Amino acid sequence: MVNFVTSILGGEAPDPLYILALINMSRLRYEKRRPWQVLKKVDSSQIVQGGNTYTTSFNLPTDFVRYVGESSLSEGSVVLFTEPDNKVTLTECPMELLLYEKNNWGKFAVDYGSRTFNICGLSPNQFNIYQYYIADFGDITLSTTWLRFNAYNPNFALLLCFDAAARWRLGTDYDDVAAFNAEDNGKMANEIFASMSTWDTELSLSTVNSLNYRGGYQDPRSQGPRGVRATS
């Protein structure tokens, strides 16, 4: 990717680490622009025991960014499950209300600073904890690329390259000629981003095509997109 930035810059080769920093800052910005389907991840490595109370802390995944749910309720982002088909959907409450909600089974509070969460109420059973979240797959390095996106289309990574090149030209190495080049680099970045957004939208839509939005509250599949409460 750094080499591609050099190509965009017409052969100019700034410090690769600096370019890498620009690329990763760009990555950060674009990954935060929307809940990319390819950044979604599930973690089921932890178990809540029967009789568990609010005092037990569980870990957020190490690559956790946020739960996939887009409303403040984050409904459906954490599901407790045990065979054969025992499911409990937890609803997030503020960490500072944990003591007030400590006996309300079905809620949980996250201590983001400590990257832990506690489940309120008395666990009636043993469950596997399923956390659905947006992950951070780590910085791009000299030897890696924007893996999650490039697995689908290598050109997606060029978004970051064009954006980094524009940032270099405008923010670091400004001159009259570079400014004109940067304008086009920015446009190219926007075009790629638009394409990726369309693609991501298509991925999102395909996940809900079979849902009956009017299926009722009890079936989370009927709730429509996360955070959008289906009306019954």
Partner 1 sequence: MAKKGSSIKPIAPYVIGDPEQKTPWGGINTAIKDNRSLDRGQTYDELNWICGRDRDYVELRRGQALLGTTRRNIPGHVSGLGVGVDPQGAEVTFYSFNRSLMFFNNATQDTQEINTTNILPDAANDEDVSFTSYEGISWANMFATSKNSSVYKIPIANPDSAVDLQAQHRFNFMKINRGMAFAVDEKGNPDRGNTSLDGTSLWLSDQQSNDLADYPSHMSLPPAPTLVQGTGGSLADGTYYFVVTVFGLDGTETTPGAESSIVISGGGGSASVTISFPNVAGAVSYNIYGSTTPGTYVTPSKTNPIPILVNLGSQNSYNFIGPFLTGQPPSSSTQPLIPVIATGDGTTRTFSGILPSFSPTVFLVVITDGTEFFLDNGDGSFTGSLGGTGTINYATGAYSVTFNTAPTASTPITASFYTDDSHALTNFTVANQFPEADGAGKARAVLSYQGVEYSLHALRSWVFTVTQGATGNSYTNDPYYEQIGIPSSRSAFPTGDGILFYNNANPAQPTLSILQIPPGSTNLTVVPIVLSKDIDLSGFGSGQCVVYRWNEYDIIELQTVNDSGAANTYNSITFIRNWQSENPVWDILDYEFGCLGTFNGTLISGDSLSPNLFTLFSGFDDDEQIINNYRKSSYVDLDLPGEKKVRYVKVQGLIQPNQKLQFSLSLDEGAYVPYYTILGNGPYVGTTPVGIGTYTIGSNPDIIGGGGSGNPGSIGQIAYPYEVVIPVMTDKFEYISHQVKALDVGYVRVSRVEYMDIRWKRKRLSSVVDLQIDN
- Footprint of partner 1 on this chain (CB under 8 A)? 9-13, 166, 170, 173-180, 182-183, 186
Contact 78, 131 (CB under 8 A): yes
Minimum gap (Å) between residue 14 Cβ and partner 1: 9
Which C-beta is closer to partner 1: that of 177 or that of 208? Answer: 177
The one-character DSSP state at 172 is I
Which C-beta is closer to partner 1: that of 186 or that of 225? Answer: 186
Which C-beta is closer to partner 1: that of 9 or that of 39? Answer: 9
Which C-beta is closer to partner 1: that of 115 or that of 187? Answer: 187
Distance CA 138, CA 149 (A): 13
Which C-beta is closer to partner 1: that of 155 or that of 172? Answer: 172
Minimum gap (Å) between residue 140 Cβ and partner 1: 23
Distance CA 150, CA 159 (A): 11
Minimum gap (Å) between residue 62 Cβ and partner 1: 39
Show the DSSP H helices in the chain as ranges.
Answer: 2-8, 16-31, 147-150, 156-167, 176-208
Distance CA 95, CA 109 (A): 5
DSSP per residue over 26-51, as a string? HHHHHHTSS--GGGEEEEEEEEEPTT
Question: Pick from 117, 147, 153, 122: which is nearest to 135 by CA?
Answer: 147
Which C-beta is closer to partner 1: that of 48 or that of 188? Answer: 188
Minimum gap (Å) between residue 167 Cβ and partner 1: 11
Distance CA 25, CA 174 (A): 19
Minimum gap (Å) between residue 28 Cβ and partner 1: 21
Minimum gap (Å) between residue 189 Cβ and partner 1: 12
The one-character DSSP state at 101 is S
Secondary structure (3-state) at 19:
helix
